[in-house]
Structure formats: C-alpha cells, structure tokens
Amino acid sequence: MSNVDFSFPIRVYYQDTDAGGVVYHSTYLNFMERARYEWLRELGFNVAALHDIHQALFMVRSLEIEYFRPAVLDDLLHVTVAVNEIGRSRIKLLQTIFCNHVQLVSATVQVVCVGAEKLKPISIPVPLRERIGKFA
C-alpha cells in the first residue's frame, strides 16, 4: 500500500457476506463509499457541511472495478483513496482494497460535484479544490 492519499480500515462483518462467508461483490462499493466519506472528513470537509455551506454534493458518474481475490468474514481490510485527476466539477479517484497487503479489488471512480438543489454539475468549492489539489 504505497502512493495512496488515504487508507481506511474496515472489518468484514457477517452482514457483508453471502451464505459462504465471502464478501458479496456489491459490498465492496459500500466499503469504497465509506472510505471516500472518511477521506473528505480527513481533508476537513464532511458531507453535511458541503451540503449546508457550499450547497454541493458528490455523485458517482462512472466506475470501473476489478476483483482479484475475495475477502471473507472477519478480514481486516484497508480501503485506499488516491486522487488521479481533478477537473472543474469532477474528480477521478483510484481506490483499492487490501487485506494483509494483498490487493483484492481495484477501482477507478469518477465523481462529479453537483448543486444540492438542481443536481446539475457545478464547480468544486474552492476550499475543497485547494485541499484536494495538494494530492492530485
């Protein structure tokens, strides 16, 4: 796990798995969403403040994901977030999920900043852009 901006630990619970104790494929998206939320918090921004102060939300625009190995019940995962590109209203992130330094999942997630009222693309708020820009 090198060259990452942020890493967030997540334990695999029973609710995350199928009957065989293997993490269900869509659950990894929840893990990545949680890591992005915590990454924003680490940058000094939380989702409520982005909405209330800047009238801005982030929505997933596109997602490409690859699964290499499965996670299972009780694994301790590390979900990473790394900035790949930043545009006027979009951010391209690279996210990976590791268990014991072994890569399980890799994804490219493109999020777009939208106005909270009309849900149309808007510029990323300047204070957030400046913080994210340090990692791009």
pLDDT by residue (tens digit) across 25-52?
Answer: 999 999 999 999 999 999 999 899 899 9
Mapping DSSP to helix (H, G, I), strand (E, B) and coil, where does residue 16 land? helix
Q: What domains can be seen in the chain, in order of their start residue?
A: 6-133 (3.10.129.10)
Confidence of residue 136 (pLDDT cuts 50, 70, 90): low
Q: 50 with 113: CB under 8 angstroms?
A: no
pLDDT attached to residue 103: 98
Please give the distance of CA 94 from its chain centroid, rounded to a whole number: 8
pLDDT attached to residue 92: 96
- Torsions phi, psi of 63, nearest 5? -150, 130
Q: What is the CA radius of gyration of the chain?
A: 15
Confidence of residue 135 (pLDDT cuts 50, 70, 90): low
Which is catalytic among the residues 18, 52, 74, 75? 18
Residue 81's CB is within 10 A of a number of other CB atoms, namely: 23
74 is catalytic: no
Alpha-helical regions (H) of the chain: 27-42, 47-54, 126-133
Mapping DSSP to helix (H, G, I), strand (E, B) and coil, where does residue 108 land? strand
pLDDT attached to residue 5: 84
For residues 31 and 35, give the distance between their C-alpha atoms in angstroms, rounded to a whole number: 6
pLDDT by residue (tens digit) across 73-129?
Answer: 999 999 999 999 999 999 999 999 999 999 999 999 999 999 999 999 999 999 999
Confidence of residue 4 (pLDDT cuts 50, 70, 90): low
* Token pair belonging to 63: 């997602």
Calculate the alpha carbon distances from 81 to 18, 76, 93 in Å.
26, 17, 7
